[in-house]
Amino acid sequence: MEEKTAFILPEYIKLNSFERKKHRIYLDDEIFAFTDTEISLIDVSDLKFGLKMMQFHLFSLGRKYSFSVKSPEKEIELIFRSYFGLGNYYFDTLYHQILDAVWDRVADRLLAEKVQELKSEKGLTVGNCVIRTAGITIYQQSFFSEKAAFISWQDLTYKKNYNRLSVYSKTNSQIWTNLFFTENWNVEFLMHILDWLYEQNGLAELKTDKTDQ
């Protein structure tokens, strides 16, 4: 990869509390690069990020920060581990620098693309959920089969937790799922879509789109 110096990030970073700054990173208005992998921001198709506490039984070991981007051909995954509070400020600052910079450059485009996927015949897939104009279908996998449960928008409720988005049926307590920020792609965009549907009259727009089809 061509030698570059980032203007919004340090040239080298460390990934855990006990190592030196030896990993090259670069981010500008067009490119995000880490070590030998480079992705054009215009090609970024999915995001996944979040913070998870590391525990051993009842003892806290520290924090694990995860941030991943991918394009149709490549993926960059960053994982920072802060042990026993050592480097909390460094990793918290670095994580939010990267997250904020990438988000500012790609979020509006990706959110619009995810809404268009939702409106398509195929629908928008996030984790074990497929979201379409009529509601959300949750797929539950067992050892022998896969079950599908549908929740209409009128029957759906959701809750944002610190590490996951929970989706429920109001009328059937057996139908629900968790979508974890660090494990499932695009959960943050699904949260924005749900807020748009329920808080900004997005449901009316979906109904209009269905009528026009």
**pLDDT value of position 146:** 80
Residue 171: closest CA among 190, 152, 193: 152
The pair of three-digit structure tokens given for residue 212, joined into one six-digit string: 């026009």
Question: What is the reported pLDDT for 212?
Answer: 57
Taking CA atoms, 181 is separated from 8, 66, 176, 196, 201, in Å, by 25, 9, 16, 19, 25
User: Could you list the pLDDT tens digit for every one of the 213 residues in the chain?
Assistant: 455 545 667 789 999 999 999 999 999 999 999 999 999 999 999 999 999 999 888 888 999 999 999 999 999 999 999 999 999 999 999 999 999 999 999 999 999 999 999 999 999 999 999 999 999 999 988 777 789 999 999 999 999 998 999 999 999 999 999 999 999 999 999 999 999 999 988 888 877 666 555
Instruction: Quote the pLDDT of residue 201.
Output: 82
Q: What is the pLDDT of residues 64-108, one digit of tens each?
A: 999 999 999 999 999 999 999 999 999 999 999 999 999 999 999
User: Residue 57, by phi and psi: left (phi above 0), alpha (psi -120 to 50) or beta?
Assistant: left
Please give the DSSP secondary-structure letter assigned to residue 16: B
The answer to whether residues 105 and 29 touch, using CB atoms and an 8 Å cutoff, is yes
Report the candidate in 14, 35, 24 with the shortest Cα–Cα distance to residue 87.
14
Contact 183, 49 (CB under 8 A): no
Contact 179, 129 (CB under 8 A): yes
Cβ atoms 35, 26 nearer than 8 A: no
Backbone φ and ψ for 93, nearest 5 degrees, come out as: -65, -45
In the numeric block, the tokens 């670069």 are attached to 26
